Amino acid sequence: MDFKQIASFVKIEHTLFSLPFVFIGAFMAGDPSNLQLFWILVAAVGARGLAMGLNRIIDRDIDAANPRTANRHLASGAMSMRTAWSLCAIFLVMLIGGAWMLNPLCLYLSPIPVFAFVVYPYLKRYTWLCHWWLGGCLALAPAGAWVAITGEISSNSWYPDLMYVSIGVAIWIAAFDLGYAQMDIESDKLNGVKSFPAYFQPPVTMAVMLLSTPLWAAAFSVVSISGTIISLALVLLVLSASGEQFQKWWFRAHVSTGWILLVAMQIS
């Protein structure tokens, strides 16, 4: 299996959601060295790859029953379970190895994201709160980078700014996932996936997405007011779109959010 197939399996482009917030957390913590940033990157890529790999493994039957996802590697049989588990093992080594190279506390806390990643695919079978759990998984990104630089959590130096950013990430990703899940409403109903859109229908879902927007914007303002305004404007603009155009630009607007904030943070 070549790199292109591996990247497709773990949806490597989705790493673009969490990566800027990893760096935001690191820079909020202090002045990271290039070596620290390297090991943070290794751990972050490992975490994201592990999360997606586990999701693909656990959800393979659901993916196979959904026409939109039936061509995914495990659902279609294009990849063996042995290969998928091997990739997860490699990503786990990256996560733990990166944490070990950063500081002892990072290594000690590294099982927390692994636990969160395992729970998420099962949670969607029981409650529509799964979208906010997913947000919580990504909210670990800036918090983990903070610990990577400071090596401690006993002081209150992370409060309130880092807390606001992590809460903002959780709300922001949950809102994104609500929009994304609207593509699978009928399939979710048939296959017992307890998504919010399948349970409450699109009008309520769109209302929650809209109400979530000022909440995450307020939280992200501690990073950069100008960056937040630009990101907010992009997302609100996309909310007026529909159909395939909505899904395409919904993804792009949210991928852009963290990078806009990171750049604005660095130039302010």
Residue 236 to residues 35, 227, 241: CA-CA distances in angstroms? Answer: 38, 14, 10
Is the CATH code 1.10.3720.10 the one for domain 3-267? no
Question: In the prediction, which pLDDT does 125 show?
Answer: 92
CA torsion sign for 196, 120, 11, 189 is negative
Nearest CA-CA partner of 186 in 58, 36, 66, 45: 66
Nearest of 162, 198, 161, 153 to residue 180 by alpha carbon? 198
Predicted pLDDT at 11: 78
Q: Which two tokens stand for residue 179?
A: 């929009």
- The residue type found at 183 is M
**Cα 9 to Cα 208: distance, rounded to the nearest angstrom:** 30
- Determine the pLDDT at residue 86: 94
What pLDDT does residue 162 have? 96
What is the DSSP-derived secondary structure letter of residue 12? G
Residue corresponding to tokens 């999701």: 55
User: Which pLDDT does position 1 carry in this prediction?
Assistant: 63
The pLDDT assigned to 155 comes to 83
Distance from the Cα of residue 222 to its chain's centroid: 20
Tally of CA atoms within 13 A in the half-sphere of 251 that contains its CB: 14
pLDDT, residue 2, reads 65
Question: What's the DSSP call for residue 159?
Answer: T
Q: 268: exposed, middle or buried (C-beta count within 10 Å: 0-12, 13-18, 19+)?
A: exposed
Q: What is the pLDDT of residue 153?
A: 87
Global pTM?
A: 0.94
Q: What is the C-alpha to C-alpha distance for residues 25 and 113, in angstroms, rounded to an integer?
A: 16
In this structure, is the dihedral angle defined by the CA atoms of residues 98, 48, 150 and 110, taken in order, positive or negative? negative
Domain residue ranges in the chain: 3-267
Q: Would you call the peptide bond into 160 cis, given omega within 30 degrees of 0 as the criterion?
A: yes
Q: What is the pLDDT of residue 137?
A: 95
List the end-to-end C-alpha distance of the chain, in Å, as a whole number: 44
Alpha helices in the chain (DSSP H): 3-9, 15-29, 34-58, 60-65, 73-76, 81-102, 104-109, 111-123, 130-150, 161-181, 185-191, 196-220, 225-238, 243-267
Six token digits for residue 15:
């790493």
Per-residue pLDDT of the chain in tens (268 residues, 90 and over written 9): 667 777 777 777 777 888 999 999 999 999 999 999 999 999 999 999 999 999 999 999 999 999 998 998 898 988 999 999 999 999 999 999 999 999 999 999 999 999 999 999 999 999 999 999 999 999 999 999 999 999 998 888 889 999 999 999 999 999 999 999 999 999 999 988 999 999 999 999 999 999 999 999 999 999 999 999 999 999 988 887 766 788 888 988 999 999 999 999 999 7
pLDDT at 164: 97
How far, in Å, CA of 125 to CA of 122, rounded? 6
